Amino acid sequence: MFTASSDKTFDIVVVGNGALGSAIAYELRRRDASARIAIIGPAARTGGATVTAGAMVNVWAEIARGQFENPALSDRANLGIQAFGLWDDWCTALSEFSTAPFKVDWGTYVINNALGSPHEVATVDYQIATMQRHNVAHQLISPVDVAWLKPEAQAQISRIVRIPDGRIDPRKMLDAYERFFAARNVAIFDSTVKQLQFGKGLLRSLMKSTATLTLADGTELKAGQVVLANGSFAQELIDQLPDVKRATPRLVWGAGSALDVSLPPWIHKYGGLDRSIFDIDHVVRTVDRGGACGVHLVPYGSGEYYLGASSGVWFEPEWKPRVHAVHVLLRALSEEINGAFFFATFSIRGPGFRPTTIDGYPLLGEACQPGLWMANGTKRDGFTISPLIARELASAILGGTSTLPQRFSPSRALISYKTRAEAIGDSVAADFGGEFQHGLKLPPYAVEPYRAAKRQKIEAVYDKRDLANFGIHPEMVHLYENDDFFTAIDHPREAAN
């Protein structure tokens, strides 16, 4: 059995022990029983996106309006659609290494309500049309038929769509992966990588050490191939490889925090509230709001819930949640879902950093440095698509083929987010939706002037950077606006399709 104390040379080292890194190491071992495999990551996973998530297996609720009219956005959505059908078998196989069998609890309620922007209504319309086109079962439900949905009057629900997205506790999955690693001789290093170097002039081979990884305690590992699946933390290692740094879109920090919500003991013992609040049986959520994944409540049972999640993209990590972000979540819980949550207690989970590239598209495959692979930049989709990414990358790493879109290769130009005009329009809508979430109220005559002012400000950023035929992802506009940030993130760009 490999042990962290005695084995220092490996065929494959996976850096990152969250959902993606663990899934890749798991699949590599399932395919090759003899390869020497190691996985590196701190046991606490501080700042990890997986342990901060609910976590939802989100596919259909994440579809954005106009997604399939753009080739790159369509490819990104299809990663989730392909992964969707893998989850049941994935859980069945992994349950062998769990303390109890686990599975995805399928079913999610998507709501439109009076606190959402008009953009949200159009998004749900588009999601319904997409599910119809893919023959995906879904159901329109009257708000009066979901007894535990009891929002305040100002958040009246106009529509509920039940879709087949699901939920599963990511912490139980990570525990099962670790049990598998222990049983199948995958070396685990409870540490971080501080330095990564590749040897020059060495042929790539599973049995030839080409990379040196120096851990936080000074331990040196040798590896034939390295997989960077450690999220935004990978940028520190990418920066150490000049050729890779020049060729790879920069990773930034998609910060998010959530709340663990509980109904206190006195409610369980004495009641005093409408007990329908205990009957929440599936995830309930809004759609994307201002770049975040909307408000979503994940029931764990027995009066325990997960409420998520804040979202912001920063050039550097912020290790504490912002007041306005937590305020929005707390207000939404009682206003938009059930007023009885006014009496609930909570603790903060996070922050977790969703790995986000400067163009919003993932980094999947082998980099320009032979033997260096990336499973990164998946933002909030990493957990959902992990079985697919693991399957395809494991195949390629072991000498086979991969069906992952070539456009998402790590060594590439920035991919345009739609056309300039479409991207600006989406940025205005995202800003408007975000401000709605933070309580914006405008008289009807002020809406268009407000939107026009937003558009003018965003267009000024495009003009400042001379972007005539490129669309900036709406969440990245502020990074293009700041001169220091722009200098760091600037990268060759593709023309808009």
pLDDT at residue 205, rounded to an integer: 46
The pLDDT averaged over each successive group of 10 residues in the chain (497 residues) is 63 97 98 97 93 88 94 97 96 92 93 87 95 97 93 93 94 94 97 93 49 96 97 98 97 94 88 86 87 83 91 92 90 92 93 95 97 96 96 97 97 96 93 78 88 95 96 96 96 90
pLDDT at residue 25, rounded to an integer: 98
460-476 as b/e: b if 16+ CB within 10 A: ebbeeeebeebbbbbbb
8 Å CB contact between 85 and 261: no
pTM above threshold 0.75: yes
Task: Extract the tokens encoding 9.
Answer: 């040379």
pLDDT at residue 290, rounded to an integer: 66
pLDDT at residue 292, rounded to an integer: 64
- Please give the helix or strand (H or E) that residue 189 lies within, else none: strand 187-189
Q: How far apart are CA 123 and CA 32, in angstroms?
A: 43
Q: Which residues, in sequence order, are bridge partners of residue 258?
A: 349
The letter for the amino acid at 468 is A
